[in-house]
Structures are given as structure tokens and as C-alpha cells.
Amino acid sequence: MSGAEMKRGGVIAWLREPNPHSRTQARLGQAYLSWLRMRRNPLAMVGLTIVLLLLVMAALAPWLAPHDPYVQDLTRRLLPPGTPGHLLGTDDFGRDILSRIIYGSRITLYIVVLVAVSAPVLGLLIGTVSGYFGGFVDQVLMRITDIFLAFPRLILALALVAVLGPGIENAVLAIALTAWPPYARVARAETLTVRSSDYIAAVRLQGAGAPRIIWGHVMPMCLPSVIIRVTLDMAGVILIAAGLGFLGLGVQPPLPEWGLMISSGRKFLFEQWWVATMPGLAIFIVSLGFNLLGDGLRDVLDPRNSGK
């Protein structure tokens, strides 16, 4: 056995130590065991691969795209897929569709990241505060949450964008403002279970105030459920962003946003089908990847499955 293999075996044994000697070792060991459970789920690995490919495509777009996504060439408009130099064909302005899809992954990822770092944080804060204090605070916050949940997310996002005006920043803000209620509901349910635990009572007896208990002890217990919900919701975020772009209320031309590309290609759907179909397939594949990854994370992070 080589030295590298012996070293690797030592690291694995350290990660799988049943009695960890430090908090860091315990956390790394738990992460390693979670990764092993994830690897046993082939669909989750397919989803993880799709998401990683999206990240790579967005990061390396200038090197992966064969053409400039903004340059127009009317002499090469509406070329079919397989044309030399244009693997997925060209649109009605002669722009390479593959290049625009690759650059469009940056816009999709930009929207996904901004929504993922804003809506869950707001929902987690409202849900934990509501569940911890209960009573009048819970009633007020949950009724506000119910008001937002009463409207379909796309309709509410359309109304907000109509007020704020079209544009990618306003689209992100509208999506984030419509996405937080489910996270608040999940966090509240988790908090109602956690707040009566013995260790919360012990922390309270030590003199810890409500902000410290919520931030340091309640929120960490809610994070696994929120992370699962975030991953599963990213497909919906992508669809809403594409819907806003399709209606002209999101990303504006000439940016290569996938929903906007479908909108511009719908008038050619029966004859030059590829103009709208290719970005539609991109939306489908990425949404499927997030859904598969979310299902895998649910199996891994759900404590009821920890022994499987």
C-alpha cells in the first residue's frame, strides 16, 4: 500500500471516528457521512452534476462560448442546428444560440444566488421569531405570511415588477419578496418543536436572552429544513424569472436571458423551432437538476433518515 493510500485511509478513519475528540472533527465526520449517503442516490448525483455544470458554464462562459452572444449577423439569421460554427443554430438576428445560452447561465445563476441569500434569511428570521415568542407576535407575523401565501407567486411577482419597473434588479427583488413565506412556515414549525427542548431551557437558565437563543440555538436547528427548501425552490425561482423575462418585465434585451430568448423565438416556433426550444431545454434541465439535488439533500439532511 502506497503512502498516499495509507494517508487517505487515516483521514477516512479519523472522519469516521465514533467518538470525535473535537467539534470540528464531529462536524467534518457528519459531513463525510452525509456525502456517503448522497453518493448512494444516483438521481441526487445527477442533480448535483447538472448544478455543478451550471456553475462551470457560468464561470467559464467567455472561454466556452464559440461566438459573442451580442454580435448580430443578419446574413446568418435562423440557421438550423448543426450548421458549421453554430451547433444549436442562430436566432432571428443571426446571433449564436449556444453562446447566448452559455452566457444566459450567468444571469440565471445571478438571480438564483441573490434570491437564495435574501428570501430564506428573511423567512428564517420571521419564522423563528414567530415560533419562539408565540402569542400576539406569532399571530401578527403568520397572518402577514398568510396574506403573501394567498396569492400565486408569479402573479404577485408580476404585480411587484409592474410597480417597481422592469429590470433584472427589480425582478430579483420581486421574486425574493414572494419567496420568503414558505421558509417562514418551515422555520416556525421547527422552532415550535425546538423551543421546549431541555437544552433551550438550560441555556435560558444560564441567563441567555431571546436574541442569543434564537440566533445561536434555534436558527441552526432550522437550517437543514431551510436548505432543503431552498434547493427545491430554485426550480420555481428559475421558472418565475423566465416568466418575467418572457413577458418583458424581467431582464431586458439584448441580455441573453433564457425566458427572453423564448419570447423572441415564439413567433418562429413552427418553422424555426430551435430558436425557442433550445433555451426552453436549458430551463428544463437546470430546473430538473435543482429538483433532483433537493430530493437528495432531503434524504441526507432529514434526521429521520440518518440511520439509513
> Helices marked H in 60-91 — which ranges?
61-64
- The architecture in CATH of the region 52-305 reads Orthogonal Bundle (1.10)
* Global confidence as pTM: 0.85
In the chain, which segments carry CATH 1.10.3720.10?
A: 52-305
Cell of 244: 418575467
**pLDDT digits 0-9 by tens, 101-148:** 999 999 999 999 999 889 999 999 999 999 888 889 999 999 999 998
Closest CA to 51 of 114, 113, 100: 113
> Do residues 308 and 296 lie in contact, with contact meaning Cβ atoms separated by under 8 Å?
no
| Residue 1: pLDDT over 60 | no
Sequence-distant (≥ 6) Cβ neighbours of residue 184 within 8 angstroms = 122, 123, 124, 126, 127, 130, 141, 142, 145
> What is the tens place of the pLDDT at every residue in 205-252?
877 777 888 888 888 888 888 888 888 889 889 999 999 989 888 888
Can you read off the three cell numbers belonging to residue 68? 459573442
